[in-house]
Amino acid sequence: MITFQNVSKSYGRKLVLDNLSFEIKEGQFVILIGPSGCGKTTTLKMINRLVKPDSGEIYINGINIMEQNPVELRRGIGYVIQQIGLFPNMTVEQNISVVPKLLKYPKERWQSIVRELLEMVNMPYEEYAHKYPSELSGGQQQRIGVLRALAASPPIVLMDEPFGALDPITRDALQEEVKKLQKKLKKTIVFVTHDMEEALRLADTIVFMDNGRILQMASPEEMLRNPASDIIKEFMGRHINSRGPAELYVEDVMRTRVLKVPKTLKVLECLDRMDRWEVNSVIVLNEDDTYAGTVQLEAIQEHGKVGHEIGELVSQDTPTVSRQCKAQEVLDQLLDSPYKYLVVLNDDRTVAGLITRTSLTKAIGEALWGAKS
Ligand SMILES: Nc1ncnc2c1ncn2[C@@H]1O[C@H](COP(=O)(O)OP(=O)(O)OP(=O)(O)O)[C@@H](O)[C@H]1O
Ligand SMILES: [Mg+2]
């Protein structure tokens, strides 16, 4: 939907954009990232013609934007600038309704838009619509900046480091909101940031720029797995150490703290251990420590006899997997199966650990977004 073809730009003798070509598909969340001065803002501003290329073409929906009236063009493009930029002498409602009013929407229409948008970000109309920006927190001002860009429902929204100045908690909350809004309203978003964590979290596609060129354009998973250069690796920082979800093996995602008991253990003693571990099933081992099977609490309650050995109740129903299996392969197995976990075995059939839904989800989350320190 947005196509750059051999776009270059210089300021004086400095080449700021060097023959950029790329394409953004409709409905995608695309993030431009890279060091300060690499040309992110310049690229963004070309999309709504605030900056003109020296050479090359930019197309939106197949139409060369230089052949379009700039005012018309900008109506279809929301823009959130680097420093919020709310009009200080206007209320929240007036700020959000600027573009709808320019487009001559009737009053009832723009008022209901304002109301709806404020509701989407949990800022009730009655409480906030008539406040001035100076009466809002930084995070609230940012929200209004985002809403203003969305008010006329443009298919494309450009956002230039919209959350740069926020504390981490507010930033997290706003990232969530923007991602939800994008999914719900199906916008094409081009978003600039310095922050790789933000990029990995939000983007469908990341465009990594350096010195006016694109070093890599890829999905977050792909960039984590195969960063195209050292500077990208550096930006990834701690994220690079964790592998993408496709690279995870069972042994990376299993839990190793698991209750294991010998076959010969008496039922009563076994119940006592399960109680202390707060679990409702155990792994049972043969004399040579190899895997014998599992016993569920219900089986003990139904068939257990106090003086008997736990080995009598063993079942082999719980699926087992090898620790060298790909995590991705066991994901479906776990999600589709009625079992709450899978037993992970070493090559010699001793027990390595368990995979639970929680352990798997957590590991995939860490691979995608980096371990929370
Ligand atoms: N109006 C201008 N006149 C002269 N030089 C400019 C102008 N705008 C940008 N530049 C230069 O162009 C280069 C790219 O600037 P741009 O604002 O696109 O960088 P950026 O990647 O957005 O950086 P940041 O992360 O710091 O916002 C920089 O070297 C900058 O100094
Ligand atoms: Mg910038």
Residue 283 in tokens: 């792994």
- State how far the Cα of 302 lies from the Cα of 251, in Å rounded to an integer: 34
Q: Which atom of ligand 1 is nearest to the CA of 12?
A: 4
CA atoms within 13 A on the CB side of 372: 7
How many Å lie between the centroid of ligand 1 and the Cα of residue 37?
A: 5
- State how far the Cα of 310 lies from the Cα of 261, in Å rounded to an integer: 9
CA dihedral 184, 187, 188, 193 (to 10 degrees): -70
CA distances from 92 to 84, 144, 174, 177, 321 (A): 13, 7, 18, 18, 57
CATH of span 250-369? 3.10.580.10
pLDDT on residue 373: 36
**Nearest alpha carbon to residue 237 among 194, 203, 205:** 194
How many Å lie between the centroid of ligand 2 and the Cα of residue 44?
A: 9
Question: In the chain, what are the domain boundaries?
Answer: 2-241, 250-369
- State how far the Cα of 339 lies from the Cα of 341, in Å rounded to an integer: 5
Residue 334 in tokens: 């776990």
CA distances from 224 to 7, 199, 243, 368, 370 (A): 27, 11, 7, 8, 10
Q: Is the distance from the beta carbon of residue 37 to the nearest atom of ligand 1 less than 6 Å?
A: yes
pLDDT on residue 84: 66
Q: Which atom of ligand 1 is nearest to the CA of 212?
A: 14
Residue 115 in tokens: 């109301």
Range 219-222, long-range pairs (CB < 8 A, 24+ positions): 220/368, 221/245, 221/246, 221/368
pLDDT tens track for 42-71: 999 999 999 999 999 999 999 999 999 988
**Nearest alpha carbon to residue 143 among 178, 192, 184:** 178
pLDDT tens track for 157-214: 999 988 876 777 777 777 888 888 888 888 899 999 988 888 988 999 999 999 999 9
pLDDT on residue 370: 55
- For a pocket test of ligand 1, which of 8, 18, 33, 41 has the largest count of ligand atoms closer than 8 A to its C-beta? 41
pLDDT on residue 75: 85
Q: What is the mean pLDDT of each run of 10 residues along the chain (373 residues)?
A: 96 94 95 93 94 96 93 88 81 92 90 90 91 88 87 89 75 82 87 88 94 95 88 76 65 86 94 90 95 94 89 92 85 77 92 85 68 43
Q: How many residues does the chain have?
A: 373
Mean pLDDT rounded to a whole number for the chain: 88
pLDDT on residue 367: 66
Residue 223: exposure state from Cβ atoms within 10 A (0-12, 13-18, ≥19):
buried
Q: Could you list the beta-strand ranges (E) of the chain.
A: 2-11, 14-24, 29-33, 55-60, 63-64, 77-80, 156-160, 188-193, 205-210, 213-218, 260-262, 281-285, 291-296, 320-322, 341-345, 351-356
pLDDT on residue 90: 93
Q: Is the distance from the beta carbon of residue 174 to the nearest atom of ligand 1 less than 6 Å?
A: no
Query: Are β-strands 29-33 and 77-80 bridged in parallel, bridged antiparallel, or unpaired?
Result: unpaired
pLDDT on residue 237: 73
CATH of span 2-241? 3.40.50.300
**Nearest alpha carbon to residue 372 among 201, 193, 191, 161:** 201
pLDDT on residue 44: 95
